[in-house]
Chain A
């Protein structure tokens, strides 16, 4: 699974996710990536989110929308809401990660797997690329 979240100079945000799914999947199984609100969500009042991992858990938690709702309604920072959502994912036994960008500041991520292919760039920050959890 791959994804991107962006905020442009006008302050508009967008999220995109694309995937081949799970190796050996059967019966037309679809995960969270194409489900708006589960693996992909964007709301200029809050954040843009793209997820990766055990899709069934992201669907049940509605993770991408829930992160935006916490920002919009509870005033959470996207980073705090992202950590909380990955915490809930883990509590349910799910594994995976997400990237987010908010109304200001750089993008960020949260994940509970050993690694995650991830990168970020911003107008006022040097690009960062990482794979392992300890980077």
Chain B
């Protein structure tokens, strides 16, 4: 059987000329790094689960993508991360929502899948579970970037003050 991998960094209104050259290059570099992280696992015979997690963790650390570091802000000015992972062999699955202090949300989802009797944990309990299972913690400041703060300010300044309903920001 031959291996295969696909990744994404989000869809939206990016058109040619919409992204700066720097953002275009940074996006492609981030995708290339994540693709290589996952492909390296598969080339050496590693599992699909490990490959998917490795690729997503690279993107979670890349501030150009809306996950982990570089996530968008809530209306209250906080960052809350969600993640899920699933194995096709036995339909095992793990998911977390509303994480605020866990560096790699996908690693927390994997721990829920493999080290708890549950599928889905949310909020402070999900962070507490992650930290109790040695999943790396991170200060909320780790996730914040000036660009995302600017985008939040822009949205909140709009008269209707609605969330990013037209998915302009990742």
Q: Which residues of A contact B (CB under 8 A)?
A: 1-26, 28-31, 33-36, 39-48, 50, 52-54, 95-101, 104-109, 111, 113-124, 127, 129, 131-134
Known contacts A6-B42, A14-B88, A24-B164: A97-B11 contact under CB 8 Å? yes
Question: Is the beta-carbon distance between B87 and A42 smaller than 8 angstroms?
Answer: yes
Question: Is the beta-carbon distance between A26 and B163 smaller than 8 angstroms?
Answer: yes
Which residues of chain A are within 8 angstroms of B165 by Cβ–Cβ distance?
Answer: 22
Question: Is the beta-carbon distance between A35 and B28 smaller than 8 angstroms?
Answer: no
- The minimal Cβ–Cβ distance linking A41 to chain B, given in whole angstroms, is 6
**Which A-chain residue is minimally distant from B91 (CB atoms)?**
A43
Q: Main SS of the interface on chain A?
A: strand
Q: Using a CB-CB cutoff of 8 Å, which residues 153-170 of chain B contact chain A?
A: 155-156, 161-165, 167-170
Q: Using a CB-CB cutoff of 8 Å, which residues 80-96 of chain B contact chain A?
A: 80-89, 91, 93, 95-96
Known contacts A14-B86, A21-B72, A36-B95: A29-B51 contact under CB 8 Å? no
Interface string of B70-82 (1 = CB under 8 A from A): 1111111001111
Known contacts A20-B70, A118-B8: A7-B3 contact under CB 8 Å? yes
Which residues of chain A are within 8 angstroms of B45 by Cβ–Cβ distance?
Answer: 8-9
Question: Is the beta-carbon distance between A12 and B89 smaller than 8 angstroms?
Answer: yes
